[in-house]
Amino acid sequence: MKINEHIIKTVESGSIAEELEIEPGDVLLTINDEEIEDIFDYRYMIKDEYLEIVIQKPNGEEWFLEIDKDYDDDLGIEFENALMSEYRSCRNKCIFCFIDQMPPGMRDTLYFKDDDSRLSFLQGNYITLTNMEEKDIERIIRMNLAPINISVQTTNPELRCKMLNNRFAGEKLKFLQQLYEGHIEMNGQIVCCKNVNDGEELKRSIEDLSKYLPFMRSVSIVPAGITKYRENLYPLELFTKEESEKIIDLIESYQQGFYDKYGLHFIHASDEWYITAERDFPEEERYDGYIQLENGVGMMRMFIEEFKEALEQLKSKDIYQSLKESLYRTVTIATGKLTYSTILSFAKQLEEAFPGLTIHVLYIRNDFFGETITVSGLITGQDLVKQIKEHQKTGIDLGDTLSIPSNMLRTGEQVFLDDMTVEEVEKELKMKVVAIEPGGGDFIEAMINPEYSVCRDNGNFVYVRAYDR
């Protein structure tokens, strides 16, 4: 698609656009005599109460339209390209880049490196700022676009250049100060690499970034993911239990001070540090409303709290006693090694609450990417099938249902990372495969309710539930 060729995909019924006889296939050329760079320009420009827009019809005819409307009224238009612009790919060659550690032969979209600030606002992506110029920062401040999520990695300019393999990466840190002065809400991320940006460098980064409080609301520290496909890449090592403990101790040493001054704990360790260190997860209050959930910060604590609440609610319902006496079921749940212990403890609690319930919790070893990858979201269909079959050969009754976390599947689809479908897995294992939505309530529901399932409703996937609602 050509840049700035904004083809209209749909027109909302009863909208301003429909009233003006704007139709799908028309092209939006200008608003108030200005070209539109992307969706943010469009949304910003249409806020005005008076608009002059130019539309080009498929036959080439141009329509000049004057619009009087209320401030913030939408025109009722959606475009074929939702971003209304080409996506900006990453210019860096980060020493920890996960995409560089991908095996060959996978679908093309998995190899695309995005570093587009627009996707930070639209989808919550973290960006390095290296694709941005002064005019981009000025536009963010002028339009008050927020929050912006930033992959900082380190506040040492020279080290940042080295980690991102980009000679301009260090100087782009100046944008943090400009965003701070513009009162733009930010969240930060540091991908921690052993013997690179940990130790004193991490301490420096934490203290430097704290100067941007309260507009920088949070910073997550996450360990670099390491697959077996690292030939000719920077030599990275996994953190040990003792090293993970030191990272946690450093982070936690700052949290109370930040909270006392700003009401935010600000700096957060991802769940993986606590699991590797074999420590309990922090209490719920320390996650500041789970502000860094998408970075794996607090996901396990949230799951634990939701599970406790949902189980207590279920036990307080009239249906509980009859369920306790009548439920006889065997179900298997497959998960990643990282969350195995927590899921296993929940399964035992449910078996105690429902004596007729048997839950087999199996962690799937990641042979595809290597055993160093322990999260469920990177488990492939082929690894799942191979290892469940190994368990089936032992003669253990795994039941007729295999439950999996929904993050094993491509968003909105019944397809695994390696393009194997749920239907293919079911055929191989001769088991019904059910993806469980995140949350303690859904976990309980999936274990005790044979009807818990996902189905399509008007093109969208929805879940069939009963007891936890």
pLDDT for residue 461: 46
Per-residue pLDDT tens over the stretch 430-460: 999 999 988 888 899 999 988 887 655 554 5
pLDDT for residue 101: 87
Mean pLDDT of 229-248: 94
Cross-strand partners of 8: 79
Per-residue pLDDT tens over the stretch 190-200: 999 999 999 99
Domains and CATH numbers, the chain: 6-79 (2.30.42.10), 99-296 (3.80.30.10), 302-464 (3.40.50)
Per-residue pLDDT tens over the stretch 307-366: 999 999 999 988 899 889 999 999 999 999 989 999 999 999 999 999 999 999 999 999
Question: Does the structure show a pLDDT above 90 at 392?
Answer: yes
Parallel/antiparallel/unpaired status of strands 453-457 and 460-464: antiparallel
Task: Please give the biggest Cα pair distance in the chain.
Answer: 74
